[in-house]
A and B are shown apart, each in its own frame.
Chain A
Amino acid sequence: MPITTAYETRIDHVSILDEDGVFDETLGQGVIPEDQLSAIMEHLVFCRQLDETAFKLQRSGRMGTYPQNTGQEMPSLAAALAIDKADWLVTCYRENTGLFWHGLPPECILLHWMGDERGNHIPAGVNATPIAIPIGTQMLHAAGLAWAEKAKKTGAIAVTFFGDGATSEGDFHEAANFAASLKLPVVFCCQNNGWAISVPSSVQSAGETFAQRGISYGMPCVRADGNDLFAMTKVMKDAVARARAGEGPTFIEAVTYRLRDHTTADDARRYRDAGELEAWEARDPLPRLQRWMEAKGLWDKSQHEKALKSGEKRVAEIISNAEGIAAPNRSEFFDHMYADLPASLKRQRDSKRTTSLGQFPEDLA
């Protein structure tokens, strides 16, 4: 028998509004209604102000730690634009724009990073999970949520976000295999910002793209310019439509860049080239969208000034709200993990003792 081709594939890269401001009218047609764009721009301005201010809150001791979102605003916002209120956002920690658009009060994110667990209490009616710090856990949660929605036949779907580094975790492969095999209504979105903290993509993976990691599980894979709101929204909408139609998961690789440090405990200058940062600053997604909207007459300088002013005011209010919440007391430590606290933990809480050897002498008798 001769050698035949068992499988062949390709990865598409989608770009609509490119870094030179060129807009692809065919692909971009109707992706985002024009009358929605000024609200989106105001939202982006506010989110970036909050992001930069949160960084300063950490530096002045008002917040424990904080991972800045600046530069990576578009992928999660695109998801929030593409899904319905009943759909799930299952994120890690660089998806503030999408979470806030989906209805999460920004105070929750500030509280979380101020070390108050109550920041993870998502208000009823907001279908989002607490932000996931351990790398990769949330992809399994998303598959599980999608499975539940499928079983309940609600028609709701889940979109999950993770970084390029997370695709090296076993959790990703388990979630991807599970979701694809069971045709679960879930979208996997990898924010490839080029760096798993200080590990560059080239060290992280020998593959040419991260998108191709989804191929082996039998799901469609696509790559998009993660700094292009239109491209991201288009691929999200396609993926959401597939999920809702019962066709199973899609893997999206959003090619983007974190313009700041990994977290406030990091100094990216120690491992990233200054030239690389400069090149990506030129691709900053916010000015790109702003310039295009101004050229189209959908936004102007005075609107921008107004957005900055109201954004600043809103940021101050949110900080004051978050800081105004009384600190939790010690026993609340036990309150947020279990609906019904196991007996051993109840005993710890009530006795203020651990169950280590010797702490409960009566047990040793």
Chain B
Amino acid sequence: MAQVKQPADKSHFILPDLGEGVHEAELIKWRVSAGDQVAEHQTLAEMETDKALVEVPSPWAGVVTELCGAEGDIINVGSVLVRYGESTGHPPASPASDQAQATESSASEEREDAGTVVGSMNNDGDAPSALTRRRTEAEEVPTEQARALATPAVRGIAKQLGVDINRVLGTGRGGRVTASDVERFAQESATTEPPSNQPSRNRITVADIPEHTSAPSNLPTDATAGREPILPPVPVDPSGTTEVIPFRGVRRKIAEALDRSVKTAVHFTVVDEADITDLDRKRKEYSAITGRKLSFLPFVIRAVAHGLREHPALNAVVDEAKSEIHRKGNLNLGIAVDSDAGLMVPVLHNAEKLAIVEAAEGVARLAAGCRDRSIPREELTGSSFTISNVGSYGGRFATPVINHPEVAILAVGRGYEKVLAKDGRIYAGLSLPMSLSCDHRVVDGAEGARFLNTVKRLLEDPTALLG
């Protein structure tokens, strides 16, 4: 990774690559406070990369005015870590500083995607900024107990105003609570008596969503949940029939599940192709090293796991009865398997934690279990996203049906050789077709496309994928 360029005026310190090819680091502990005078090489923070726990020193002497992140945050390389200035008093508490950090550089590129969405995306609570690659579990699954994300400066303001920061709805980067959020909350609390059971800070109520946004109209309501069409059966002419097969058993189960899915979820499908020329080389290297033939599937699993971490909206299930969307912290990945009896979807638990070879072995084990019917029940339930590897049978694109009550499914077509172009250069490469179906009630078009983009980007960059 290219070295980041620090500002010539030393006004802020941008988190550099702390190892070789490190893209992010978790902030473990601040070793300075806002207002501290620091010396060159003095440790600012302890951070943990995927490689090491490291101390990050100050590149110059100065007065730290703002710590841009809370302990436990994932900070991306290229983001501002601390700001320096002359004042030793309170750090600038304007929301602008938080926002600037979130929208600097690549945020505008993200915005361009908004053109594909239905309506407009002006509440990006579901759309992580380009600078936030991973969210903490607390962010993914907001609960009453969740600790708000906020800078120490904002916490200070909340304390001064007597506001419980954990009750404030964060509008900043990754749901971060900004100074203006706190002030607004304090004003509102002053005019209206706060209810005893304040909704959790991250739960957006219908009142929070501007009227011109189309999203809420698609949310499940009592009227649509569990709707059952009552249609008269169409009579069938038995002449010419050579065989009559009772519609039951596994076939019936499959039919019921799919029927329920298409009648409940509002499907849309987005397709793309990834250039897997480089990945194919890596795959062959891995195969040679591990001595087992690897398909692309474990690599796709890895890309999907990364992608869902960035786009947690797609790793979820819908509870129709309670009208709730449950986002999942772990990836319990459904793998569509073609057995003698028909389609089965065994579950690869905690797929995000698996190494490539472990994923390959897991899939092989599950598939074998489905084929000889030895698979335990626990391994057939509890998935929150599904991959259908249709390519192993042939075909490029598909319109996969969501494995209800999940909200998205990815069908992976057969990789094929084709003429590709990059940087004005044409070459013979390998292309992997992908088709993503999402439940539009839960996932907007832009978010689905972003997730697919992330998966594509990772598949095209094996170093990022496997690093």
A-side residues, CB < 8 A to B, are 53, 56, 59-62, 64-65, 115, 261, 263-267, 269-270, 354, 356-359
Whether B16 contacts A60 by the Cβ 8 Å rule is: yes
Nearest chain A CB to B40 CB, angstrom units: 9
Can you list 20 A-B contacts with CB-CB less than 8 angstroms, sorted by A residue number?
Answer: A56-B41, A59-B16, A59-B54, A60-B16, A61-B6, A61-B16, A62-B6, A62-B16, A64-B20, A65-B20, A261-B52, A265-B21, A265-B51, A266-B19, A267-B53, A267-B54, A269-B53, A358-B427, A359-B424, A359-B425
Known contacts A64-B3, A356-B425, A356-B427; is A56 also within 8 Å of B52 by CB? Answer: no
Is B257 engaged at the interface, CB distance under 8 Å to the other chain?
no
Whether B58 contacts A60 by the Cβ 8 Å rule is: yes
Whether B4 contacts A61 by the Cβ 8 Å rule is: yes
Whether A61 contacts B19 by the Cβ 8 Å rule is: no
B20 partner residues in chain A, CB cutoff 8 A? 64-65, 263-265
A53, A61, A115 — most chain B CB neighbours (10 Å): A61
Whether B59 contacts A53 by the Cβ 8 Å rule is: no
CB under 8 Å from chain A, chain B span 1-33: 3-4, 6, 13-22
Whether B13 contacts A60 by the Cβ 8 Å rule is: yes
CA distance A359 to B421 in the complex (A): 11
Is B57 engaged at the interface, CB distance under 8 Å to the other chain?
yes
Is B56 engaged at the interface, CB distance under 8 Å to the other chain?
yes
CA distance A146 to B427 in the complex (A): 46
| Further pairs besides A56-B41, A261-B52: 15, Cβ < 8 Å | A53-B41, A59-B55, A60-B13, A60-B41, A60-B57, A62-B59, A115-B3, A264-B18, A264-B20, A265-B20, A265-B51, A267-B51, A267-B53, A269-B52, A357-B426
A266 partner residues in chain B, CB cutoff 8 A? 19, 51-52
CA distance A356 to B14 in the complex (A): 36
Nearest chain A CB to B303 CB, angstrom units: 24
CA distance A12 to B410 in the complex (A): 65
Whether B56 contacts A60 by the Cβ 8 Å rule is: yes
CA distance A265 to B19 in the complex (A): 4
A61 partner residues in chain B, CB cutoff 8 A? 3-4, 6, 13-17, 59
Smallest CB-CB separation from B56: which chain A residue?
A: A59
A270 partner residues in chain B, CB cutoff 8 A? 52
Chain B interface helix/strand/loop/mixed: loop
Going nearest first, the 7 A-B pairs with the smallest beta carbon separation are A61-B16, A267-B52, A265-B19, A60-B59, A265-B20, A56-B57, A56-B41
Nearest chain A CB to B424 CB, angstrom units: 8
B14 partner residues in chain A, CB cutoff 8 A? 61
CA distance A340 to B254 in the complex (A): 70
What 1/0 mask marks residues of chain B from 46 to 77 whose CB sits below 8 Å from any chain A CB?
00000111111111000000000000000000
B57 partner residues in chain A, CB cutoff 8 A? 56, 59-60
A263 partner residues in chain B, CB cutoff 8 A? 20
Smallest CB-CB separation from A358: which chain B residue?
A: B426
Nearest chain B CB to A199 CB, angstrom units: 16
B426 partner residues in chain A, CB cutoff 8 A? 357-358
CA distance A354 to B53 in the complex (A): 40
A64 partner residues in chain B, CB cutoff 8 A? 3, 17, 20
Smallest CB-CB separation from B55: which chain A residue?
A: A59
Nearest chain A CB to B164 CB, angstrom units: 37
Smallest CB-CB separation from B53: which chain A residue?
A: A267
B-side residues, CB < 8 A to A, are 3-4, 6, 13-22, 41, 51-59, 424-427
A60 partner residues in chain B, CB cutoff 8 A? 13, 16, 41, 56-59
CA distance A56 to B6 in the complex (A): 15
Nearest chain B CB to A112 CB, angstrom units: 14
Nearest chain A CB to B108 CB, angstrom units: 24
CA distance A345 to B19 in the complex (A): 32
Smallest CB-CB separation from B421: which chain A residue?
A: A358
CA distance A60 to B3 in the complex (A): 10
Smallest CB-CB separation from B13: which chain A residue?
A: A60
Nearest chain B CB to A364 CB, angstrom units: 11
Whether A264 contacts B19 by the Cβ 8 Å rule is: yes
Known contacts A53-B41, A267-B52; is A59 also within 8 Å of B18 by CB? Answer: yes
A62, A265, A266 — most chain B CB neighbours (10 Å): A265
A115 partner residues in chain B, CB cutoff 8 A? 3
B13, B52, B53, B427 — most chain A CB neighbours (10 Å): B52
Nearest chain B CB to A277 CB, angstrom units: 15
Nearest chain B CB to A264 CB, angstrom units: 6
Smallest CB-CB separation from A270: which chain B residue?
A: B52
B54 partner residues in chain A, CB cutoff 8 A? 59, 267
CA distance A60 to B16 in the complex (A): 6
Whether A358 contacts B4 by the Cβ 8 Å rule is: no
Smallest CB-CB separation from B58: which chain A residue?
A: A60
A53 partner residues in chain B, CB cutoff 8 A? 41
Smallest CB-CB separation from A53: which chain B residue?
A: B41
B55 partner residues in chain A, CB cutoff 8 A? 59
Smallest CB-CB separation from B428: which chain A residue?
A: A357
Whether A358 contacts B52 by the Cβ 8 Å rule is: no
B15, B18, B21 — most chain A CB neighbours (10 Å): B18
Nearest chain A CB to B29 CB, angstrom units: 15
Nearest chain A CB to B427 CB, angstrom units: 6
Nearest chain A CB to B347 CB, angstrom units: 31
A358 partner residues in chain B, CB cutoff 8 A? 425-427
B56 partner residues in chain A, CB cutoff 8 A? 59-60
Smallest CB-CB separation from A63: which chain B residue?
A: B3
CA distance A266 to B50 in the complex (A): 10
Smallest CB-CB separation from B47: which chain A residue?
A: A59
Nearest chain A CB to B44 CB, angstrom units: 9
Known contacts A61-B17, A264-B19; is A357 also within 8 Å of B425 by CB? Answer: yes
A62 partner residues in chain B, CB cutoff 8 A? 6, 16, 59
CA distance A61 to B6 in the complex (A): 8
Smallest CB-CB separation from B15: which chain A residue?
A: A61
CA distance A267 to B20 in the complex (A): 12
Smallest CB-CB separation from A60: which chain B residue?
A: B59
CA distance A276 to B162 in the complex (A): 52
A56, A64, A263 — most chain B CB neighbours (10 Å): A56
CA distance A65 to B56 in the complex (A): 14
Smallest CB-CB separation from A319: which chain B residue?
A: B40
A59, A261, A269, A357 — most chain B CB neighbours (10 Å): A59
A59 partner residues in chain B, CB cutoff 8 A? 16, 18, 54-57
CA distance A278 to B53 in the complex (A): 19
CA distance A207 to B55 in the complex (A): 38
